[in-house]
Amino acid sequence: MISRAVENHVYVVAVNRSGTDVKNIFARHSLIKDPWGAIVSEAGDENELLPGTLDYKKVSKARNKIPVFEDRRPDYY
């Protein structure tokens, strides 16, 4: 998940189910990563909220620092 945030220069919000059902016990680990892969917020307890503030300036800074989107070739897709 860190690599998805970094390679796409985006925030990644990964939400995992908590609790149990008849056949399963769920992991309860959810988190938000910033465009550099740093943890913004993490939740591990059942029924815990995942608060977090997304700073969109970080997205712009990351995209300016490593301009991967300049290599796109839309004419090929």
- Residue-level pLDDT at 53: 92
Judged against a pLDDT cut of 80, whether residue 46 lies above it is answered with: no
Q: Where are the domains of the chain?
A: 2-46+54-64
Spatial separation of the C-alpha atoms in residues 63 and 23, rounded to whole Å? 43
pTM: 0.73
- Residue-level pLDDT at 50: 82
State mean pLDDT over 36-42.
Answer: 92
Place of tokens 């301009």: 67
- Residue-level pLDDT at 47: 67
Here the tokens at position 1 are 């998940």
Smallest Cα–Cα separation from 66: which of 43, 37, 46, 39?
A: 37
Distances in whole angstroms, Cα of residue 75 to Cα of each of 16, 24, 69, 71: 37, 46, 14, 12
Question: Confidence band (pLDDT; 50, 70, 90) for 22?
Answer: very high
Pair 47, 28: CB distance under 8 Å? no
